[in-house]
Amino acid sequence: MFHKNIKLVLAALITVWSVYQFSQGNIMNGISILLLAGIFVLFYFKNEFILLAFLQLRKQNFDSTKEWLSYIKNPEAALTTKQQGYYNYLHGIMLSQTNITQSEKFLRKAVRLGLAMDHDLAMAKLQLAGIAMTKRRKREATTLMAEAKKLDKHGMLKEQMQMMKQQMKKI
């Protein structure tokens, strides 16, 4: 909705307004306005459109996910580096169903930019391993699988990795 720097400027201005309310003795107004500033700081670190796109992706609603991501016009200027990683990650996940070459491009960019959670990074590397396996690049797929296994500390992707290993034996 707003450029990332505009969000910080708005948060600063609202904080100044909050301090003014405190100085006037309006404590409750100051607290409420300070919470409003906190929302802008939150949305600086967590882009609202990416959050809404993740919610739609959880429901397997790819059309709505794509729609929410389309609201981000210039990701390089509007998003922080990690948010750009998640923007590319979401595009890569969506395209993995239809266009694996484009999906690989987006997922590689997401891994390069970085993702905040190890689980997401493991999922991206596992997707890349699947794409590499589809394109008959067994060595690259094995390397990516090993990296994904290291990142998957809670074993959430264990079943998918075992299935992939079984498929890799057939190549």
Please state the rounded mean pLDDT for residues 53-75.
90
The C-alpha torsion from 5 through 10 and 12 to 14, rounded to 10°, is -170
Residue 85: the pLDDT is 94
Sketch the domain layout of the chain as residue ranges.
1-45, 47-169
Confidence band for 170, pLDDT divided at 50, 70 and 90: confident
Give this prediction's pTM.
0.80
Residue 98: the pLDDT is 87
> pLDDT for 71-117, tens place per residue?
988 888 878 889 999 999 999 999 888 888 999 999 999 999 988 88
> pLDDT for 120-158, tens place per residue?
899 999 999 999 988 888 899 889 998 988 988 888 888
16 vs 137: which has the higher pLDDT: 16
Residue 156: the pLDDT is 85
DSSP structural state of residue 60: T
CATH code of the domain occupying 47-169: 1.25.40.10
